[in-house]
Amino acid sequence: MATTKPMRRRAVVAALSTILLGTCFAVKAATPDETQLLSALQKAHPGTQFSSIARTPVAGLYEVWMNGNVAYVPARQPRYFLFGHLFDTKAMSDLTGPKLAQAGKAKNSDEAPQKYQPTTVAPIRFEQLPLNDAVKTVRGAGQRRVAVFSDPNCPYCKQLEAELASLDNITTYTFLLPFLGETKPIAVWCAADRAAAWRRLMLDGDDSLLNTGAACDHPIGRNLALARQLSVQGTPTLIWADGTRSEGFVGRAVIEARLAAAVSPVAPEKQP
């Protein structure tokens, strides 16, 4: 209903991004309304845990943190996420920027500026990964190998897929995760040609090859359990042949460098 009363506080959400990554951190919810919203979010996104949740100056809008990623969620319609900066036009202050900077500083305090470093986590034996539960994509001879935990609903995963598609002599094993819903991961796995369905969906936005009919015998639940076992906190997460990993989107130059550093000689694979 329209009103002529001036608003006490004005806020606009700008610089919206399109990222939503599943992450795993402990939650601190203090008030009943925060607890109620948290419960709704956990029910809607069982593969995601949230690091903090708090009220904003905008009535009914909450600030939700997911391991360095922040979203603004309306309590009455928690199915919607706004990504970007909350700006107070009266005080002319960015309410989000300083918090993002602080989170980034804490995350990168031990790293040299603009220097890429793989995440330090206990190495994983690549050969022990259940590769039969992954979508296998072979380009060229396929001698270089990488495993990727990915979610078809994750925009950063789509960006990564474009980088991987530009490489040659690589075999990619994609473990589909249901952090943002299981419908698409299952539909990809149940497609007649999984690799083609995945490629078209992620590179072209074409879902015509997905099998949205009766669900087949799929490994999505096992993949989620594997992600938790390996402490995979978000998508995309890349596991290199030497057992090290990288979290989040990385460009072609980084991928090439990591593939070279994680040499794992295997016999060339024949294209089907």
Kindly report, residue by residue over 73-124, the tens digit of the pLDDT.
998 888 888 877 887 777 766 787 777 666 655 555 444 333 334 444 556 8
The answer to whether the beta carbons of residues 261 and 172 sit under 8 Å apart is no
The answer to whether the beta carbons of residues 51 and 23 sit under 8 Å apart is yes
DSSP string, 115-152: ----B------GGGS-GGGSEEEEETT--EEEEEEE-T
pLDDT score of 122: 59
pTM of the model: 0.57
pLDDT in tens, 202-211: 999 999 999 9
| Average pLDDT of the segment spanning 24-49 | 68
The answer to whether the beta carbons of residues 191 and 216 sit under 8 Å apart is no
Q: Tell whether the model's pLDDT for residue 71 goes beyond 50.
A: yes
Q: List Cα–Cα distances, 258 to 99, 111, 170, 239, 252, in angstroms.
A: 31, 17, 12, 10, 10
Q: How many CB atoms are located within 10 Å of the residue 120 CB?
A: 9
Exposure b/e, 99-109, CB count within 10 A at least 16 = b: eeeebeeeeee
| Percentages of the chain per state (helix, strand, coil), in multiples of 5 | 30, 20, 50
DSSP string, 35-61: HHHHHHHHHH-TT---SEEEE-SSTTE
CATH code: domain 11-106 is 3.10.450.70
The answer to whether the beta carbons of residues 152 and 235 sit under 8 Å apart is no
d(CA 194, CA 185): 10
Q: Tell whether the model's pLDDT for residue 188 goes beyond 90.
A: yes
260: confidence class by pLDDT, cuts 50, 70, 90: confident
Q: Tell whether the model's pLDDT for residue 66 goes beyond 60.
A: yes
Residues 6+ apart with CB under 8 A from 175: 133, 134, 147, 148, 149, 150, 223, 226, 227
Pick the CATH number of 126-261 from 3.50.50.60, 3.40.50.720, 3.40.30.10, 3.10.20.740: 3.40.30.10
Instruction: Please list the residue range(s) of the chain that carry CATH number 3.10.450.70.
Output: 11-106
Q: Is the peptide bond before 78 cis (omega within 30 degrees of 0)?
A: no
Instruction: Please list the residue range(s) of the chain that carry CATH number 3.40.30.10.
Output: 126-261
pLDDT score of 17: 34
